[in-house]
Amino acid sequence: DSGVTQTPKHLITATGQRVTLRCSPRSGDLSVYWYQQSLDQGLQFLIQYYNGEERAKGNILERFSAQQFPDLHSELNLSSLELGDSALYFCASSVWREPGDTQYFGPGTRLTVL
């Protein structure tokens, strides 16, 4: 158990809908990262927040957005969902914001878009 929690574990929804994935980092960690794992691709970095502010952005679609709240939990919002958004979404956290920091991964949320 990494100490990172994600909810829900599974999510099934329809195309065009909007969903919110939630992540609570390890106690004391200030950075939160979001990753997407699709069937035919490796882990893709989406976005990083550090202490409430966006720190780095990866291959995140405009239909997706994220934020980190004062209590450091983070939410990833996915809207106008398409079939291709079906994937495993991981959240990870680290103590600081530096690229060399070890990242601890949560159990993931499996999103299925029908």
Partner 1 sequence: ILNVEQSPQSLHVQEGDSTNFTCSFPSSNFYALHWYRWETAKSPEALFVMTLNGDEKKKGRISATLNTKEGYSYLYIKGSQPEDSATYLCAFITGTASKLTFGTGTRLQVTL
- Helix (H) or strand (E) run with residue 91 in it: strand 87-94
**Residue owning tokens 């291709």:** 84
Of positions 74, 81, 93, 106, contacts partner 1 by CB under 8 A: 106
- Write down the least CB distance from residue 14 to partner 1, Å: 26
State which residue, 14 or 28, has the beta carbon closest to partner 1: 28
**Residue owning tokens 């409430």:** 52
| Residues between 35 and 94 with contacts to partner 1, criterion CB under 8 A | 42-45, 48, 55-58, 90
β partners of residue 93: 32, 104
Dist. CA 71–CA 106, nearest whole Å: 17
By CB under 8 A, name the binding residues for partner 1: 2, 4, 33, 42-45, 48, 55-58, 90, 97-108
